[in-house]
Chain A
Amino acid sequence: MSTVAGEPSSPTRAIDLAQLSERLGRLLAAGVLASAFLLAVGVVVIVVLAPGTGMDGLLSARSRGSWGPASPGVLLIASGIVVLVATPVARVLLAARAFATAGEDDYLGLVLAVLLILTLSVVVGYWLPPSL
């Protein structure tokens, strides 16, 4: 992405944004494909092996505590969800590496701040009481 003519130019070690964009695209596509495969197979396994009844069956398995004895289908779906949620996090990590390599400390700082907040989300989600 070039700058507008007459605007202050980018630093000499400017990152190759086109290349970063391409890499991010490939990473996102890979994450999406992997998660879609796990989720789709998980649904098929559940329908074939352990068909529940109606919406109550769908709601019975939650992300923590009440998953009960993990069936293969639920395990596959859980893996798919984890891969899916991890995909944008991996994309931020890739960007951090690219900005660090290019020596763009200002954008590296921004991306690391995003990573910090995402880490905080994990901590908050785990320790958050059911109600405040």
Chain B
Amino acid sequence: MLPLVLLLLGIFLLAVGAGVLGSMLGLGGGMVIVPGLVLLFGVDVHWAIATSLVSVIATSAGSASRYARKGLLHLRLGFFLEVATVVGGLVGAVLTAAVLIGPVGTEVLLFLFAVVASSASFLLLRDLRRGGVAEQPRDPLADRWRLHATLPADGPSPSRAFRVGHVREGLSLSFVAGLSSGLLGIGGGLYKVPAMTAVMGVPMKMASATSSLMIGVTAASGALVFLLHGEVAPLITAPVAVGTLAGTQVGTHVHAVASSRALRIIFLVAILAAVALMILRGLGVTSA
């Protein structure tokens, strides 16, 4: 058995990596935290999910505070979509905390995680192949809620006005994002970012920054359920939250200067590896 200090250090380092990736891509980091805690440290998946949700809040607050200063947050769109994500987050957390319990529930959660992670891989892969954001058709809902905006100038790139479209589809995907967040302890950014970029026409930098802001409230709706239901282990949550915060500081700096292509590829490989291991774990082939 590893000494306490080494365990805490290992969990801290895992969380730093999750914070870097999560803040750079607006994903929250739960896709790394949950399989990391389950596969590397043998934590029960329910507790890993609860811990991860708290760390998602840390990622969100840490990165959104920086993006706010750079004017990259699309506040109206964030507040608009949050209504759908928090409802999803609450429903998902209730399902995990009270329905998907016991050995069967654990297996279901592991497989669900694998399915969601696989879909994340698909979305990331599609983003890698896709070029710029497509021009959106006029949407009366976007007009009504004043969702059209301007991406601020960034170095040599001038500011750019853009039109938001397909609002209903964006709301639906936001609910799915919230549901996956509460259910699996992830930020839900893997659905929110593509919903904003590919579906609604928001530029990538603004979408990932706005997703970073939104995932905090989404995760809070689930985290409050787990916290008050007694599913949060504070001694695991502490190194995870502090590590995530530290990683977030690095991730937001890199977000400003680097192309995220290489990181997306690394993230993709890591997710696929986690999917394979989670499936094997669910089948009882491996154990942490």
Contacts and interface: CB of A to CB of B under 8 A. Distances in A.
Interface of A: 1-5, 7-8, 10, 17-18, 20-22, 24-26, 28-29, 31-32, 35-36, 39-40, 42-43, 46-47, 51-55, 57-67, 74, 77-78, 80-81, 84-85, 87-89, 91-92, 95, 106-107, 110-111, 113-114, 117-118, 120-122, 124-126, 128-132
The secondary structure that dominates the B interface is helix
Complex A-B, nearest 3 residue pairs according to Cβ-Cβ distance, in ascending order:
A25-B68, A125-B228, A64-B230
Contacts of A35: 58, 241
The secondary structure that dominates the A interface is helix
Given A28-B60, A125-B97, 19 more contacts: A1-B149, A21-B68, A21-B73, A28-B65, A35-B58, A39-B237, A59-B235, A63-B228, A77-B235, A84-B61, A85-B57, A85-B220, A88-B216, A111-B79, A114-B217, A117-B86, A118-B86, A126-B228, A128-B229
A59 B225 contact: no
B216 A10 contact: no
A89 B220 contact: yes
A87 B61 contact: yes
A22 B79 contact: no
A114 B90 CA distance: 11
B134 interface: no
Given A32-B65, A118-B220, A4 B161 contact: yes
Contact of A25 (B42, B66, B220, B241): B66
Contacts of B150: 1-4
Contacts of A125: 93, 97, 224-229
Contacts of B245: 32, 36
A28 B233 contact: no
Contacts of A132: 98-99
B2 interface: yes
Contacts of A120: 90
Interface of B: 1-5, 7-8, 41-43, 47, 54, 57-58, 60-62, 64-69, 71, 73-76, 79-80, 82-83, 86-87, 89-90, 93-94, 97-99, 101-102, 143, 145-146, 148-150, 161-163, 213, 216-217, 219-239, 241-242, 245
29 contacts: A1-B150, A2-B150, A2-B161, A3-B148, A25-B69, A26-B65, A28-B61, A29-B61, A32-B61, A46-B235, A47-B8, A54-B1, A55-B2, A58-B4, A59-B233, A62-B233, A63-B226, A64-B228, A85-B227, A91-B216, A110-B82, A114-B83, A114-B217, A118-B86, A121-B89, A129-B98, A130-B98, A131-B99, A132-B99
Contact of B227 (A22, A58, A81): A81
Contacts of B67: 25
The CB with the most chain A CB atoms within 10 A, among B68, B94, B148, B213, is that of B68
Contact of A110 (B54, B80, B97, B161): B80
A124 B222 CA distance: 10
